[in-house]
């Protein structure tokens, strides 16, 4: 099981980014969170057997035109993650 922490930069707030990510998560065996950051980035934490496919789906979705940079790091497994949540 892979766990990742991703920051997306660009015009990623106010364009339905979090809702699209949550919707895409339903198609994959992943759990995690997505939230807007005060500096204008969006943060995704995801883990599961299909994490790579999930991230690829984000890159290929309608969000692609809004993403200028993606910073991804592999992290240790996050205990207690269930489902995929939008954090306000």
The CATH number for 58's domain is 3.30.70.100
Predicted model pTM:
0.95
Catalytic residue among 36, 59, 69, 71: 36
Burial group, residue 38, by CB count within 10 angstroms (0-12, 13-18, 19+):
exposed
Is 60 inside any structural domain? yes
Is 72 inside any structural domain? yes
Is 44 inside any structural domain? yes
Number of domains in the chain: 1
- What CA–CA distance (Å, rounded) separates 69 from 88? 22
Q: Annotated catalytic, 82?
A: no
Burial group, residue 52, by CB count within 10 angstroms (0-12, 13-18, 19+):
middle
- Domain of 42? 2-79
Catalytic residue among 18, 26, 69, 71: 18
What are the average pLDDT values for consecutive 10-residue runs of the chain, which has 88 residues? Answer: 96 97 98 98 98 98 97 96 96
Is 87 inside any structural domain? no
Q: Annotated catalytic, 18?
A: yes
Is 88 inside any structural domain? no
Give residue 83's region: left, alpha or beta (phi > 0; psi -120 to 50). left
């Amino acid at each position: 099981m892979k766990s990742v922490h991703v920051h997306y930069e660009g015009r990623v707030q106010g364009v339905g980014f979090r809702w699209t990510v949550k919707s895409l998560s339903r198609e994959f065996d992943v759990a995690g969170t997505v939230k807007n950051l005060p500096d204008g980035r969006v943060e995704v934490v995801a883990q599961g057997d299909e994490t790579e496919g999930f991230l690829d789906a984000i890159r290929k979705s309608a969000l692609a035109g809004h993403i200028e940079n993606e910073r991804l790091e592999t992290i240790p497994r996050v205990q207690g993650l269930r489902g995929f949540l939008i954090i306000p």
